[in-house]
Structure 1
Amino acid sequence: MDFIHQFLSIIFPLLTTLLLLFFLPPYLLFKLLSYILRSFRPENVAGKVVLITGASSGIGEHLAYEYARKGARLALVARREDRLTEVADKARRLGSPDVLIIPADVSKPEHCKTFVDQAVNYFGCLDHLVSNAAVIRLSMFEDVTQISDFGGVMSTNFWGSVYGAHFAAPHLRKNRGKIIAIASIAGFMPFPKHCFYSAAKAALISFYEALRVEFGSDIGVTIVIPGLIYTDMVLQQSYSSEIQLDFLPGQSAEGCAKAIVRGACRGDTYLTEPAWYRTFWLLKMLCPELLDSFCRLVLIGKPRSAKKTS
């Protein structure tokens, strides 16, 4: 058995390389033509029902506005009812024919079942689930005193999305709907002080990749990988004081939301925004050590010196 693995370790990479040399050019051409075709024939979401979590601010808020401009009916979910009301009022003015607000906490499975049921009972169907709700908490791992304090990061960023997908899937399947999962560039880049946030987003990416295979063509899955987006969460003083952001140009939440809705209507499987952040995927695959050094030096400065012991 060991001999077989040794043999495959030599032969399989060679065969894969040869296959890619012949297969990759026509495959890339096919993807380009498919992208062009889908761009000319995007999904019309006018009148369709879109449920957005984390809709009270940031990307979620602007997603609500962008879907509203396209005439979608909206179910907006977040914990802050007062902010949801403001977002809903603006969404109506921008063109949404009907907006339902549902105060809820996605980290609680009973809340997720409730907001999906309320949306379906109110509108009669569900076409898009936009899983956007997220929280962030920064710390160097060695500075953490209680690991359990970071449980909410995983509960909201990962399990909150899982619960929503679980309860929404039967309704989405009926209409051949879509799930738009908002992950993060931190899901594959080694951002310092983001270890728990990164773990949750990496789990989210893997979860929806597996789900896409399980759903097949019944439910579309678009995994969104935003880079640095200027949301309230990023612009708050506690974040900017922890991470050096000067070397990474960011994008507005409004611009990101426009790109996400376009990508979802095109039926993209992945969407990285801003698009140039996709270069980091290549660095991750080809020279991970360089990416590690870049993230450490650029985002947190010089390495911390070892503590002296007497």
Structure 2
Amino acid sequence: MWKKILAVLVGLVIGYWLYDDFDPETLNAKRVVITGASTGIGEQIAYHYARFGAKILITARREEVLKQVVDRCRQVGSTEGQYEYITADMSDMSATQNVIREATRRLGGIDILVLNHITVMPLGEWKGTPQNLSSLQHIFDVNFRAYVHLTSHAFSELEKTSGSVIVVSSFAGKVSIPFVAPYSASKFALDGFFSALRQELRMKNCDISITLCIIGLVGTDNALSKLMEFRQDFLLSVMKPATPTDTALAIVKGGQRRVREIYYPYLDVRIPYLLRDWLPNAIESVTRYISTPSHYKR
């Protein structure tokens, strides 16, 4: 009997993985704001929304690159579609309010807010130096405070539309990773804040959904260059990076389905997270081993 029960459970789990209730038609004409959209995952998110007929405003610091992404959105989407951009530095909290104000003015409102931007940070040991402490402030401003400010400024528009907030986080926000302590801390902070906010919204029957995206190793140019610079040869040899476009599609799908959390690539991030509290020493040992650069192992 227990074998039959186990087979049923395994079947249900496999069926859940394979079942895809994503409905791209619901994204047509949705008004979407995407931060960190000049390269990598954010750029690919913009292209997917363009293909699905959404109206888009993207933001990042580099205007020329944003123009190129908008032009590409016109190519993959509708020539009559609305694709806007605004430059913004997310370390400046006043810029977050301006982004939401401009998005509301240009798009006529906001249905989906995709928070994707991060600051590029050096990999290395935490030594408590003045430089460490200075970079910590900057990382939290960009990777955490700006997310909170953008969401807060967008509240009124999202309430009108029963909209969605998609928070692009990281495996490092569920399982601590050595050599990126400030980054990992900022991603843990996102989990804490937005998980609490989700509960508050439900308590007051506010139909704004929050989807937290726990993303593993993705082969963006920035990520790969940093790993190679820090000589994390072993990590790259044992883990195959996910493609930015596949990762972006998983994020778009999760947001459309209004799920609580997504994990991508699923097995790479979900299983270690599930084992984190059951086998903490073992998970930390494996994490240390695969993330230690080659010159530390000599």
TM-score, shorter chain, exceeding 0.5: yes
In the TM superposition, what is the alpha-carbon distance from 1:136 to its structure 2 partner? 3.4
Residue 211 of structure 2 aligns to a residue whose secondary structure is strand
How many Å separate the matches in 1 of 2:48 and 2:99? 21
The answer to whether structure 1 residue 249 and structure 2 residue 240 are counterparts is: yes
Q: Counterpart amino acid of 2:227?
A: Y
Residue 113 of structure 2 aligns to a residue whose secondary structure is strand
Match of 1:125 in 2: 109
Q: State how many pairs are aligned.
A: 277
Match of 2:3 in 1: none
In the TM superposition, what is the alpha-carbon distance from 1:267 to its structure 2 partner? 1.6
How many Å separate the matches in 2 of 1:177 and 1:141? 39
Q: Counterpart amino acid of 1:139?
A: G
Give unpaired runs (5+ residues) of structure 1: 1-24, 306-310
The answer to whether structure 1 residue 294 and structure 2 residue 274 are counterparts is: no
How many Å separate the matches in 1 of 2:22 and 2:66? 33
Which stretch shows the higher mean deviation, 100-109 or 49-58?
A: 100-109
How many Å separate the matches in 1 of 2:72 and 2:241? 25
How many Å separate the matches in 2 of 1:42 and 1:132? 21
In the TM superposition, what is the alpha-carbon distance from 1:262 to its structure 2 partner? 1.2
Match of 1:5 in 2: none
The 8 Å contact of residues 133 and 157 in structure 1, kept in 2 or not, is answered as yes
Q: How does 1:70-149 map to 2 (within 5 A)?
A: 70-96=52-78, 97-137=81-121, 138-142=123-127, 144-146=129-131, 147-149=133-135
Q: Counterpart amino acid of 2:126?
A: F
Residue 39 of structure 1 aligns to a residue whose secondary structure is coil
Gap change, CA 1:40 and 1:94, over 3 Å in 2? closer
Residue 263 of structure 2 aligns to a residue whose secondary structure is strand
Alpha-carbon RMSD across the aligned residues, in angstroms, is: 2.5
Give unpaired runs (5+ residues) of structure 2: 1-7
Residue 212 of structure 2 aligns to a residue whose secondary structure is strand
Which stretch shows the higher mean deviation, 170-179 or 99-108?
A: 99-108
How many Å separate the matches in 2 of 1:93 and 1:166? 33
Match of 1:18 in 2: none
The 8 Å contact of residues 112 and 163 in structure 2, kept in 1 or not, is answered as yes
How many Å separate the matches in 1 of 2:91 and 2:22? 38
C-alpha distance after superposition, 1:254-289 (max 9, x if no partner): 110011111111121100100112001122021010
Q: Counterpart amino acid of 2:71?
A: D
The 8 Å contact of residues 128 and 172 in structure 1, kept in 2 or not, is answered as yes
Q: Counterpart amino acid of 1:45?
A: L
How many Å separate the matches in 1 of 2:33 and 2:180? 28
TM-score (norm 1): 0.83
In the TM superposition, what is the alpha-carbon distance from 1:149 to its structure 2 partner? 2.7
Q: Counterpart amino acid of 1:140?
A: E
Equivalent residue for 1:67, pick from 28, 37, 49: 49
Q: Counterpart amino acid of 1:220?
A: S
Match of 2:210 in 1: 221
How many Å separate the matches in 2 of 1:165 and 1:150? 22
In the TM superposition, what is the alpha-carbon distance from 1:144 to its structure 2 partner? 4.2
In the TM superposition, what is the alpha-carbon distance from 1:142 to its structure 2 partner? 2.2
C-alpha distance after superposition, 1:86-139 (max 9, x if no partner): 000001111151011100012222111111011101111100000000023222
Match of 1:9 in 2: none
Residue 294 of structure 1 aligns to a residue whose secondary structure is helix
Percent identity over the alignment is 33
In the TM superposition, what is the alpha-carbon distance from 1:241 to its structure 2 partner? 2.7
